[in-house]
Structure 1
C-alpha cells in the first residue's frame, strides 16, 4: 500500500512540474578488431601510436550486423565507434611522418571553427520548429539565447542533449532564457523521427531544422556540436565546440553572468 501511494505521488509531482524524467544517457560502444574494448584500451593504443582512424557512427546495416554478433551490447548506430589500428610497419612510418610535421601545420585554428566569434552581433534567422511554428532570433531580444547546432547522426551531440535538462534547462526555467536546438543540413522527416525518440526520453526542446544549412553557414564551420550563447542585445558572448566533460557547466556559468543579479 505504501509503495502504491509513493508511486502515485511521484506521478502527480511529474504532472505538476511538467518535467518528465530524462531517459538513461546512451553509452559509446567502441570496437577494435571486431571486439568491444574500453576507453582505457583505446588510450593505451593511442599512447603507443597504433590508432589509424576512429569512425563515430555506423550505417543501420553495420549496426544490425554488429548486433547479431554482440547482442544487446550494441545500442543505437550513432553511439558505435569503430577504431582501426596501424600494423607495426605502418605505425613506424606514421611516427616518422608525424615527427616531420611542424606544430603549426598540425594545429587547427580557432578561426576555422567559427564564422561568428565572441563580441560579434549574432546573425538574425528565422527557425522553423518541428511542430511547424517559427522562431525569429530578433524577436527574442531581451532574452538570453543558447543556439545549439547538432545532427541526428552525431553521437556527441545526442549525448550532450541528455545532460541539458539538468544542467541548462532546469536552472534557468524561470528566467528570460531560450534554448534552440538547430539540426544542421537534415530534412524535417529525418529530424522528426529522431525527435520522437528524444522526446520519449524526456528531451523536450525547441527542435528546429536548417536543411539547407543557411543558418549554419552564417555561424560556423567544421565540427558539431557547437553552442553560441547570445545576450539580451543580440551579441555573441560565448562559443564552444564539442562535448567536453565541463562544457555545459561553463555555458551555465556564462548564462548566469548575463542574467540580472
Structure 2
C-alpha cells in the first residue's frame, strides 16, 4: 500500500536557460498484467490487496515490443509503469503472511533525512560544467536567487518535473535576478546529451549541468531524486524539496518570489 501511495504521487534571465518554445509534456502509461490500464483501476486493485509488484520504466527493447502491440499509446520507456497482480491463490497466501508481519512489526521506522545540507545552511560552493561546454561557479551568482535541481535521465518523476518547470518557474522569473541550474547526477555526458536532445524537441530548452561523478550531489543530499534547493542572494539555503509531489513547484515559485522581493 505504501508503494501504491508513492506511485500515485509520481503520477502527479540568465544564459543558463533559454525557454521560449511550447512544452509537450509526456503521459504515463500504466500496464497491468501487460494490458493498458488506468490509475483508478490500479487504486482499486491496491485497495483489494491484489498488487504484487510495481516497476517504473522498462528497457528500450521491451518498450519497442510494447509499441508493436499498442502503437502510439506507448511513449518513452521512462514513463511506462508495469504492475503485476497476485493470482487468487497467491493473494490468500500473501494475506496470511501480512497478518503475521503486522503482529511482528510493532515499531514504525523513523523517516530518513536524505538532506546533507539543510535550510539555513550555507550552500556549498561548486563549479558546474554546462552541456554547452561553459562553466558556472555558484559563488559567482551571489546577488541572485538560485534554484538547484538534481535529476537523472532515467528518473521519470525528475523528467515530469522538468516539463512543468518552464511554465511555473522560468517564465514568471524571466529577466529577474534568478538562475535555474538543472544538474544531472552520476551519468556520462553522452547519455545526458541524448536525453537533452529529446527534451529540447519537446520544448524543454535549458542549458543543463553535468555532475558525472556525483561530486556536487554528494555535498548536498543522498537517496532519491529529484531534489531541489533554493539559495538566496547571500548563498544561504532557504528551501529544499524531495520528489515531484503535488504543489511542490507552486511552493518553490512562492519561495522564489519572496526571496526576489528582498
Shift of 1:114: 1.0
Contact 2:184–2:209 (8 Å) recurs in 1:
yes
SS of 2:192's partner is helix
Shift of 1:27: 0.5
Measure, in 2, the Cα distance between the counterparts of 1:19 and 1:77.
25
Contact 2:123–2:235 (8 Å) recurs in 1:
yes
Equivalenced residues, count: 241
TM-score by length of 2: 0.87
Residues 1:249 and 2:250 aligned together: yes
Shift of 1:204: 1.3
Alignment-derived partner of residue 92 in structure 2: 89
Contact 2:24–2:203 (8 Å) recurs in 1:
no
Segments of 4+ moved more than 4 angstroms: none
Residues 1:52 and 2:52 aligned together: yes
Contact 2:130–2:207 (8 Å) recurs in 1:
yes
Shift of 1:97: 4.7
Alignment-derived partner of residue 77 in structure 2: 77
Residues 1:104 and 2:114 aligned together: no
SS of 1:229's partner is strand
Instruction: Tell me how large the CA RMSD over aligned residues is.
Output: 1.6
Contact 2:128–2:209 (8 Å) recurs in 1:
yes
5+ long unaligned stretches in structure 2: 1-17
Measure, in 1, the Cα distance between the counterparts of 2:100 and 2:85.
16
Alignment-derived partner of residue 12 in structure 2: none
Shift of 1:232: 0.8
Alignment-derived partner of residue 224 in structure 1: 225
Contact 2:132–2:207 (8 Å) recurs in 1:
no
Contact 1:22–1:162 (8 Å) recurs in 2:
no
5+ long unaligned stretches in structure 1: 1-17
Shift of 1:200: 1.9
